[in-house]
Amino acid sequence: MMSWETVIGLEIHAQLATRSKIFSSAATAYGAAPNAQANLVDLGYPGVLPVLNREAVRMAVKFGLAIGAQISPRSIFARKNYFYPDLPKGYQISQYEKPVVEKGQMQILLEDGTVKVIGITRAHLEEDAGKSLHEDFHGASGIDLNRAGTPLLEIVSEPDMRSAKEAVAYLKKIHTLVRYLEICDGNMQEGSFRCDANVSVRPVGQEKFGTRCEIKNLNSFRYIEKAINYEVARQIEEIEAGRKIKQETRLFDPDKGETRSLRSKEEANDYRYFPDPDLLPVVIQNDFIESVRATLPELPDQKAARYIEKFGLSAYDAGVLTASREMGDYYEGVLAALKSKNLEGHEKLAANWTMGELSAALNKDGIEVTESKIDAARLAGLLARIADETISGKIAKEVFESMWAEGQEADAIIEAKGLKQITDTGAIEKTIEEVMAANPKQLADYRSGKDKLFGFFVGQVMKVTGGKANPAQVNDLLKKKLAG
C-alpha cells in the first residue's frame, strides 16, 4: 500500500484591533445593532472615497517585524472585483501584487521536541465584507454591514506543514503572537481570528504537490484539526479509488465533521484585480519602521528562550507559559513575589503550579488568567509555604482549593485549618510507635521480609496526622523504628 504525505498551507485572517475601520471613520466594535456601524463609505454610496487608516498599517508593520519579514517600502491596494450583497462596492480593497509584509517565518515545536520553521509568504491588509443573514426574513436575506470595512491582516503561509497537528501548532503560534503584539484580540468565536486551509496529499517521496482543496472559514483549533484530517482521508480515498482530486473550495460542516464542495475552480470568479485608483501607494519609510520596532514587546519565542535558559524550564513548559502574554506576566509575577520574600530558585515549582493547579482552575471556571481568583502574589504566598516546608505539596493543593473558593491568603487558611506540617521528630516518633502498636501482624510480616508493607505504615502515619507529617521525616524515622 502506498503511503501518503500531507501538505498544508494556511491563510489566516486576523482582524486588526483598530478603533475605526480601515477606510472609513465608522467604529469597529463587535455586537452593535445591524448596520449601526456602517457609514456612507462602508455602504458604498455613490461618490464616497476610501481613506487609509494609518493605525492598520502600523499594526501590519508590527506583525511583519515580529516574524522577521521584509516591510515593503511601497505597497499597493488593489480592487478584487465580484458581486455579492454583503460586498457593497462590488469590490473588496485588498493588497495583491505588492503586500505590505513579505517573507517572514515562524517556528513551531513538534511533538518529538524538534523545532520546525514555517515560512510566511506574505501578510497583506484588506477590508472585511459584511454579513448576509438568511434567518428571520421570510425567504429574503438581510444584510448587516457593520463588519464591512473592518481591517484584516491576511497572513499567508508557505505549504510547509505536514500534518493537522503542525497546522494547529502554527496557527496557535500566530494566535499567540497577534495577541502579544496587541494587534488582534484573537477572539475566534466572534470571527476576529479565522483561517482557510489549503490541503493536498502526495505519495511520500514525490516532489510535485498534489491538487489542493481550500477549506474555508475554520474558526476553532478543534475544527481545523478535524477538518484537515477529514479532508486528508477523503483525498487519499479518492485517489486510491482511482479518481482525481478536483481543485475546489470546500466548506467544513462542524455538525457532521466533514467537508463538502462549495465551488470548483471553473466556477471561481475572475476577480479582475487592478490597483485601486482611489488610494495612493502606501509608502513606508525607515524611521516609521524603527518607531514601530521600538514598540515591540518581548516576543513569545524570545520569552520562552529566556525561561529555558534562565529558569531551566523545559521547552514544552516554556511554550505553555508563553502561550499568552498574560500567562507569562502571571508566572513572572509569582517569581517576583517569591523574590521579594527572598525565595529564589523556585522557578520550576512556580511553573508547575501555574501550569497545573492554576490553569486547571481557570479552565474549570472558564476565566482568563487576568481574572484569576488567586493573584500572582497570593500564589507566591502559597508556594513560599511549600518552599519552607510549612506544608507538603499535597496539603498545598487543599489550601489552593480553599484559597480559590474563599479568596484568602494561604497563611490564613493554613492557620485556621491547622494544616501546618509536623516536623517535630518526637511527635512523629510517638505517632509511629502508636501505629506499630496498633498493627502487630503487619509489623511481624514486615520484619519477616515483606518490605512492601513499608508503604502501609507510611499511609497509616499520614492518616493519623491528617497528612501533616513531613513525608521525608516520616520515611526516615519509620525505617529506623521498623527495623527495631
Contacting residues toward other proteins, per CB under 8 A = 40, 43-52, 79, 81, 83, 85, 88-91, 143, 270, 272-274, 277-280
Smallest gap from residue 91 Cβ to other proteins (A): 5
What whole-number distance in Å separates Cα of residue 334 and Cα of residue 350?
Answer: 7
How many Cα atoms occupy the beta-carbon half-sphere of 199 within 13 Å?
A: 30
- List CB contacts of 8: < 8 A, sequence separation 6 or more: 159, 161, 162, 163, 164, 166, 167, 197, 198, 199, 228
Smallest gap from residue 95 Cβ to other proteins (A): 15
Cα 90 to Cα 4, 45, 147, 150, 231: the distances in Å are 42, 11, 15, 16, 32
The CA R_g of the chain, rounded to the nearest whole Å, is 30
Q: Are 482 and 449 in contact (CB under 8 A)?
A: no
What whole-number distance in Å separates Cα of residue 108 and Cα of residue 319?
Answer: 10
- Cβ nearer to other proteins, comparing 205 with 277: 277
- Cβ nearer to other proteins, comparing 89 with 124: 89
Smallest gap from residue 209 Cβ to other proteins (A): 21
- Cβ nearer to other proteins, comparing 138 with 256: 138
What is the DSSP secondary-structure string of 196-207? EEEEEEEETT--
Smallest gap from residue 60 Cβ to other proteins (A): 18
Smallest gap from residue 259 Cβ to other proteins (A): 25
- Cβ nearer to other proteins, comparing 49 with 437: 49
Smallest gap from residue 263 Cβ to other proteins (A): 14
Smallest gap from residue 275 Cβ to other proteins (A): 9
Q: How many CB atoms lie within 10 A of CB 260?
A: 10
Q: In the numeric block, which cell numbers belong to residue 381?
A: 504566598
Q: Cell 524603527: give the residue.
A: 290
Q: What letter represents residue 232's amino acid?
A: V
Cα 111 to Cα 108, 229, 442: the distances in Å are 10, 17, 47
- Cβ nearer to other proteins, comparing 148 with 361: 148
- Cβ nearer to other proteins, comparing 143 with 334: 143
Cα 388 to Cα 160, 259, 293, 337, 415: the distances in Å are 49, 56, 43, 15, 15
- Cβ nearer to other proteins, comparing 46 with 366: 46
Smallest gap from residue 79 Cβ to other proteins (A): 5
Q: Please give the backbone phi and psi of residue 55, each rounded to the nearest 5 degrees, phi first.
A: -60, -35
- Cβ nearer to other proteins, comparing 144 with 317: 144
- Cβ nearer to other proteins, comparing 45 with 316: 45
Smallest gap from residue 22 Cβ to other proteins (A): 13
Task: For residue 80, give the H/E element and its range.
Answer: strand 77-81
Q: Please give the backbone phi and psi of residue 82, each rounded to the nearest 5 degrees, phi first.
A: -165, 160
Q: Please give the backbone phi and psi of residue 58, each rounded to the nearest 5 degrees, phi first.
A: -60, -40
- Cβ nearer to other proteins, comparing 132 with 475: 132
Question: Could you say which DSSP state residue 453 is in?
Answer: G
What whole-number distance in Å separates Cα of residue 146 and Cα of residue 129?
Answer: 9
Spell out a b/e string for 423-440, using b for 16 or more CB atoms within 10 Å of the CB, else e.
eeeeebeebbeebbeebe
193-203 and 151-157: which strand pairing? unpaired
Smallest gap from residue 344 Cβ to other proteins (A): 56
